[in-house]
């Protein structure tokens, strides 16, 4: 099974109005024509503590990258982020290969990743390829792992079951360049999670086979993680003359009630490049006092505007992160949610 996983790659805002139909479905003229949506809010996975059991759940690798929707229509491609921003120019290889699929019209749902030397997806490597948060580079080496098909040749597929959509997706993409199928793994959930964790992956995704495609976080899709990874806001940093990029550690905040609360710090996971670039961005956000009530001598305080993706092993008794490691900054276009603590 590990070998199968490795082969699989274990490794401008958009208007909301629908497009006006211009022609019928040429491949299936007997079917009614569904207008192609200009944008679809993605179906999101709900965090679960353990994998569900039963044959009604399909299991996949949890990819660590950027969620994308690839729209193909009449010889043109648009690649939209989770937040609806057009990033077609930033993923030129995926855009090129999408046209090579030869589809009249389609919407692919998937995750763009950059693979490391082990063949595992690496969020930090993808961020560097794009030039960091706010960067203008393009990730020509990125791969799209497609896991759903929302529209095909004049037909809206969102009302079909996952199994039917995935079958049509498999026929549509074939093995093709930078666009690959996110394979379903034939295993029990607990066994699959154990294997994924032993291989250093982020976790797994479980999806109800009989569910239609529903936007939002409704529970049809679940995510089970090996190492927790969430988005926190940076409150400030500890300047250092010896640490990489001059950052000794970052101070982090989560959401609670209608405000922010301190959840600890992170001092590992940086490279010279990522830390140096991060310190430049933080310098532009400096403020005289911390944004929330927090003590700390010798700290540089910043406006809490930069969302950082942080991996960690759990929580201390006083609600601070344990064994935290910096992964990179999230883009506004990605619409990552800042982690919210329980309201207790």
Model pLDDT for residues 125-137, shown as the tens digit of each residue: 888 888 866 667 7
Count up the domains in the chain and report the number: 2
Burial environment of residue 86 by CB neighbours within 10 A (0 to 12, 13 to 18, 19 or more): middle
- Give the sign of the dihedral formed by CA 121, CA 127, CA 131, CA 137: positive
pLDDT tens across 331-343, in order? Answer: 877 767 899 887 6
Q: Is the domain of 304 the same as that of 168?
A: no
Top-confidence residue, 3 or 131:
131
* pLDDT for 295 beyond 90: no
Q: Is the domain of 166 the same as that of 246?
A: no
The reply to whether 243 falls in a domain is yes
Q: Which two tokens stand for residue 167?
A: 């079958």
CATH number for the domain including 323?
A: 2.40.50.140
Residue 134: its pLDDT value, please?
Answer: 67
Q: How far is CA 166 from each of CA 58, 151, 265, 321, rounded to the nearest angstrom?
A: 11, 12, 41, 38
Three-class DSSP category at 83 = coil
Q: pLDDT > 70: what percent of the chain? A: 89
Q: Is the domain of 203 the same as that of 321?
A: no
Three-class DSSP category at 124 = helix
Q: Label the pairing between strands 203-208 and 286-287.
A: unpaired
- Residue 192: pLDDT band (50, 70, 90) is very high
Q: Is the domain of 187 the same as that of 279?
A: no
Q: Domain boundary residue among 190, 225, 260?
A: 225
Q: Which two tokens stand for residue 41?
A: 């809010």
pLDDT tens across 220-243, in order? Answer: 999 999 888 899 999 999 998 888
Place of tokens 């809206």: 156
Which domain range does residue 139 map to? Answer: 40-225
- Residue 116: pLDDT band (50, 70, 90) is confident
Q: Which two tokens stand for residue 6?
A: 């490795």
DSSP letters spanning 168-234:
HHHHHH-SBTTEEE-PPP-S-HHHHHHHHHHTT--EEEEEETT----SB--SSEEEEESSEEEEEEE
Residue 114: its pLDDT value, please?
Answer: 92
Q: Is the domain of 83 the same as that of 219?
A: yes
pLDDT tens across 97-106, in order? Answer: 999 999 999 9
Distance CA 126, CA 81 (A): 14
The reply to whether 220 falls in a domain is yes
Distance CA 2, CA 132 (A): 32
The torsion of the CA quartet 212, 214, 217, 221, rounded to 10 degrees, works out to 20
Residue 82: its pLDDT value, please?
Answer: 92
Mean pLDDT rounded to a whole number for the chain: 87
Q: Is the domain of 208 the same as that of 232?
A: no
Q: Is the domain of 189 the same as that of 291?
A: no
Where is 256: in which H helix or E strand? Answer: strand 247-256
Residue 258: its pLDDT value, please?
Answer: 84
CATH number for the domain including 46?
A: 3.30.470.30
Q: Is the domain of 157 the same as that of 237?
A: no
pTM for the structure as a whole? 0.78
Residue 317: Cβ within 10 Å count: 5
Q: Is the domain of 329 the same as that of 192?
A: no
The residues that are catalytic are 62
Longest dimension (CA), the chain: 72
């Amino acid at each position: 099974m590990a070998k199968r996983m490795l082969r699989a790659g274990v490794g401008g805002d958009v208007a909301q109005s629908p497009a006006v139909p211009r022609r019928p479905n040429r491949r299936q003229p007997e079917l009614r024509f569904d207008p192609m949506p200009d944008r679809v809010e993605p179906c999101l996975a709900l965090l679960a503590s353990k994998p569900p059991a039963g044959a009604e759940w399909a299991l996949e690798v949890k990819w660590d990258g950027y969620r994308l929707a690839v729209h193909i229509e009449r010889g043109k491609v648009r690649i939209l982020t989770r937040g609806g921003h057009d990033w077609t120019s930033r993923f030129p290889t995926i855009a090129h290969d999408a046209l090579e699929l030869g589809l009249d019209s389609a919407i692919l749902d998937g995750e763009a990743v950059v693979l490391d030397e082990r063949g595992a997806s690496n969020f930090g490597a993808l961020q560097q390829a794009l030039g960091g948060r706010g960067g203008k580079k393009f990730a020509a080496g990125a791969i799209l792992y497609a896991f759903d098909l929302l529209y095909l040749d004049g037909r809206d597929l969102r009302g079909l079951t996952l199994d039917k959509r995935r079958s049509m997706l498999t026929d549509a993409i074939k093995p093709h360049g930078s666009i690959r199928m996110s394979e379903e793994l034939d295993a029990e959930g607990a066994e699959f999670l154990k294997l994924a964790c032993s291989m250093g992956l982020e976790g797994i995704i479980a999806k109800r086979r009989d569910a239609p495609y529903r936007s939002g976080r409704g529970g049809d899709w679940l995510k089970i993680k090996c190492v927790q990874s969430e988005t926190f806001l940076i409150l400030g940093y500890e300047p250092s003359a010896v640490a990489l990029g001059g950052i000794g550690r970052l101070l982090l905040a989560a959401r609670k009630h209608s405000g922010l609360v301190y959840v600890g710090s992170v001092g590992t996971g940086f490279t010279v490049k990522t830390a140096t670039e991060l310190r430049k961005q933080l310098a532009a956000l400096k403020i005289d006092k911390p944004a929330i009530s927090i003590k700390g001598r010798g700290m540089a305080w910043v406006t809490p505007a930069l969302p950082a993706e942080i991996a960690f092993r759990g929580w201390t008794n006083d609600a601070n992160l344990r064994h935290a490691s910096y992964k990179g900054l999230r883009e506004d276009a990605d619409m990552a949610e800042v982690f919210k603590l329980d309201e207790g």
